Structure 1
Amino acid sequence: AVTPPQIKRNVASEITSVGKAIYEARWDDKHTTTQQIGSMSTRSQSEANGEQDKNTKDTEMIKSKRDQMRDNMQDYIFTRYFNYVKNYDKVLEKNFPKAMQLYRVFFDGVKDFFGDMKRFLKIARIANDAPQGIRALNRQELELYMQMPRDMWKVAPALIGCSLPMVGYAFFPLVFWYPRIFLTSHFWTGQQRNDFQSHFMKRRLQCNKPVFRCLQAKLKSLKTHHKHDEFQSILGQLGSGTHPTAEALIAVKDIFAEGPYSLLGMSRKHIKCLVKLHGLPNSLFKRHRLHEHAFLVHYMDLAIMREGGVHNLRTDAMRYCCYLRGLNPDNLSREEMIEWLRNWVKVSTSIQGEHITLFLHLPILLAYNHPRNWKTIYCKKTD
């Protein structure tokens, strides 16, 4: 039998509708399940991420604490090490006091020595470039200009020996064992300066009598000189324990211009005694040394007058001026030093170049019988 087309069409439509409904129902269930599973997995992942972030934060916190502790420990160790190095000289001074004292004296001495050496080079440049030469220098510059070359020659072996490898370890103690021989006043302590100055002063003053005997021995050869009697009277005063006045010495200055009292006329023994009397180094050119020394001290006297006179000097400078000119300044009052230096400067500024040997004999003519010099020579201890 033939099925009517209308029925076929309705059945197919129903089947199609039912299938569509079933399909849609299944799709919705599947989609809902997928969404639920997705949401569950998202929550699980977020929870896992949260726990991971929490663990990461805890780890970073622990790590930061460790870094902070490490930094604090490094700062502490560095601070302690820095303070230890900074105060290491105190540690050495506590454990090795004598060695550190020698080190400080040597270090300060080298610093002072090189400071004076730079000043000397500057002064020498001024003396060479100035139209007036060394006359353009003041008293302090002249003193350094005269003393520094001697100090450089004296201390050179010590500085060179201490800087040599291996040799320096043995030479350094030797230098400080004999500081008076190898070192200069830059490296001496205050007590050493006083002791060594007294030693050098006594050694110089021990030449007073030989120089005085040389003056007496040559007096007979000057009988024809018009100043013979006056100078004989001056030597008589020295022999009797007194000193001539500055005016009396200026009056007989011509007797030193020529003859046996001139620089070229004096005997070798006389020259040698004068070199020792003025504390000059022993060398082949003794007459040249004496000539140079006399003019330098003479220019110092002129500088003193330019700077206002003897009374304007400081006490320590005044003591050094007396020491340089042959008078022991120990226990002398300021007034006594001023009086003696004024007589010296008065004679020094009244003579010319041809009277240079009168200047060289002023330590005898003005200080031979001074009580301080006699006590220095003949007493074991000065008062």
Structure 2
Amino acid sequence: MFILQTSSKFLYPQLFTRRNRSIKKQYATIRYLHDKNNEKKIKFYVVNRYILYLKDYEKHIERRFPNAVGLYRSFMDGTKKFIQDVKLYYSIVRSLNKKVKSLPDLTRKELELFDQMPRDMLKLTPILFFSALPFTNYVIFPLIYFFPKQMLSQHFWTLQQRVDFNRSFLHERLMHNKPIFRHLQEQLVRLKGHELYKPWEEVLGKIGSGVQPDVEEIIDCKDLFVNDPYNLNYLRGSHIKHLLHLHNLNTFFWFRRKRLFEKALLLKEMDSAIMREGGIHNLPVEALRTSCYIRGLNPTNMKNEDMINWLNKWIKVSRAIDQDSVSLLLHCPILLGYNEPSNWTLIYAYSRKQIL
């Protein structure tokens, strides 16, 4: 048997050579795959360890610099929210310009965004522009950390900051209530002999004595806001300026009365949108508070029922006026909110802080 195998090896040398080559080739392939598998394992191990290191390093940074990390994340999240709102705002503007939609077609949220975004964009565009430049973060981030109210919008604020800053902004607006009320009183003399002189005198007298007039009494005097002396075209410059501050509008000299007129129409459309969407009682709590802030009422510590009742009064006036008497709606923060306890609490609280 051994003789036959040996002889066959010598008789057929090519057959044995091919077999040895095949075995060597299979062994080389197996070894290559084994080495490659080990290489993958090593790469996977290195990458995995690197990721774990980064996670640990991130936690280390958070422990060492929690405020800086929190500020950075808030800034990035706020930027994303701001960009989303900018896109929605320009979508609304484009629809309005192309006559695809009109103001009555917009929802309450869209109308509020349409009202607020120009101010936010004016404030944030320079900040976002300079933050994108090299090395400016060393200046920008400390500034927005120490002055978030002045340099950022609500997209970047925490929940507590929103409450605090909204109250602060409303306080600044409410400080113009008294000058506007004084202007209303000064023009009363010019109405002597007018059929609405006595009813209007009673309305102003109630407000001046700390009593809130009835909504019906205010609506009955709306014709005084159609012509002289309370129509927008007849108001004195200082009166106009205080109204601009009260409604959170810029006070640039050009087109001031037009801005107030457009603001009044926008407020009226917001009121209509609320009623289209089910009424005030269907608004979420946060939307209730926002609606009060927009219209000049401090909702802090107010019950939902009180906010709803006040907004119902506002909307009752809003539905009773037209474009000729929109000046009345601009004065509703005084006519309906001058003697509201929450407003006086806010005014007194901030005045006391300034004194102390």
Q: TM-score, normalised by structure 2?
A: 0.87
Query: Residue 212 in 1 paired to residue 201 in 2?
Result: no
Contact 1:120 1:148 in 2 (8 A): yes
- C-alpha contact 1:260 1:266 (8 A) present in aligned 2: yes
- State the shift of 1:105 in Å: 0.5
Deviation, 1:96, is 2.5
Long gaps (5+) in structure 2: none
1:353 aligns with 2:323: yes
Identity %: 42
Which amino acid in structure 2 is aligned with residue 361 of structure 1? H
Quote the residue 1:322 is aligned against: 292
* Residue type at the aligned position of 1:330: T
* Corresponding residue number in structure 2 for 1:18: none
Question: Which one of the candidate residues 198, 201, 223 is aligned to 1:229?
Answer: 198
CA RMSD of superposed structures (Å) = 3.0
Deviation at 1:298, TM superposition (A): 0.7
The one-character-per-residue Cα deviations of 1:51-80 (angstroms, maximum 9, x if unpaired) are 999999999988776555444222211222
1:295 corresponds to: 265
Q: How far is 1:81 from its partner?
A: 2.2
Work out whether 1:157 is the aligned partner of 2:122.
Answer: no
Secondary structure at the aligned position of 1:261 is classed as coil
Query: Aligned equivalents of 1:63 and 1:295: distance in 2?
Result: 78
Deviation at 1:320, TM superposition (A): 0.7
Alignment of 1:18-29 (within 5 A): none
Secondary structure of the residue aligned to 1:260 is: coil
Mapped pair 1:136 → 2:105: yes
Shift of 1:94: 3.2
Give the AA of the match of 2:104. R
AA matched with 1:283? F
Q: Which runs of structure 1 show a deviation greater than 3 angstroms over 4 or more consecutive aligned residues?
A: 49-71, 82-92, 129-132
Kept in 2, the 8 Å contact 1:225–1:255? The answer is no
Matched, 1:313 2:283: yes
Match status 1:103 vs 2:76: no
Distance of 1:207 and 1:300 partners within structure 2: 23
Q: Specify whether residues 238 and 70 from structure 1 end up closer, same or farther in structure 2 by C-alpha distance, changes over 3 A only.
A: same
Where does residue 94 of structure 1 map in the other structure?
63
Bigger drift between 349-358 and 80-89 goes to: 80-89
Q: Do 1:294 and 1:359's aligned partners in 2 also have CA atoms closer than 8 Å?
A: yes
- Mapped to 2, the partners of 1:52 and 1:293 lie a distance apart of 90
Change (3 A) 1:68 1:127: closer
Checking the alignment, whether the CA contact within 8 Å between 1:112 and 1:186 is kept in structure 2 is yes
CA gap of 1:232–1:61, structure 2 versus 1, over 3 A, is closer
Deviations 1:311-339 (A, max 9, x none): 12111111111111011001111111111
Say which SS state the counterpart of residue 97 (structure 2) adopts: helix
Corresponding residue for residue 302 of structure 2: 332
Gap change, CA 1:220 and 1:59, over 3 Å in 2: closer
Give per-residue Cα distances to partners, 1:325-369, cap 9 Å, x unaligned.
011001111111111110100000110111111111100000101
The alpha-carbon deviation at position 228 of structure 1 amounts to 0.9
**Which residues of structure 1 form unaligned runs of 5+?**
1-34
1:253-268 pair list within 5 angstroms:
253-268=222-237
Cα 1:132–1:222 shift into 2, 3 Å? farther
Q: Give, in angstroms, the shift of residue 276 of structure 1.
A: 1.3
Greater displacement, 102-111 / 156-165? 156-165
Counterpart pick for 2:344 among 351, 354, 374? 374
1:251 maps to which of 217, 220, 238: 220
Distance 1:134 1:58, change over 3 A: closer
- The alignment partner of 1:308 has SS state of coil
* Structure 1 stretch displaced more, 132-141 or 322-331: 132-141
> How far off is 1:277 after superposition?
1.3
Aligned length: 344
Distance (Å, rounded) in 1 between the aligned partners of 2:97 and 2:115: 14
Closer/same/farther in 2, CA of residues 274 and 53 from structure 1, 3 Å limit:
closer
Tell me if the contact between 2:103 and 2:111 (Cα under 8 Å) persists in the aligned partners.
yes
- Equivalent position of 1:14 in the other structure: none
- Out of 222-231 and 333-342, give the one that drifted further: 222-231
1:191 matched to 2:126:
no
What amino acid does structure 1 have at the position aligned with 2:231? S
- What TM-score, normalized to structure 1? 0.81
Letter in 2 for 1:135: P
Contact 1:157–1:182 (CA under 8 A) maintained in structure 2: no
Q: Which amino acid aligns with 2:334?
A: I
Change (3 A) 1:235 1:53: closer
**Separation in 2, partners of 1:54, 1:309:** 85
Aligned to 1:117: 86
In 2, distance between residues paired with 1:353 and 1:123? 23
Tell me the distance in 2 between the aligned counterparts of 1:103 and 1:362. 41
> Is the contact between residue 95 and residue 101 of structure 2 (CA under 8 Å) also seen in structure 1?
no
**Cα–Cα, structure 1 residues 132 and 232, in superposed 2: closer, same or farther, change >3 Å?**
farther
Which is bigger in relative contact order (C-alpha 8 A, separation at least 6)? 2
Amino acid across the alignment from 1:288 = K
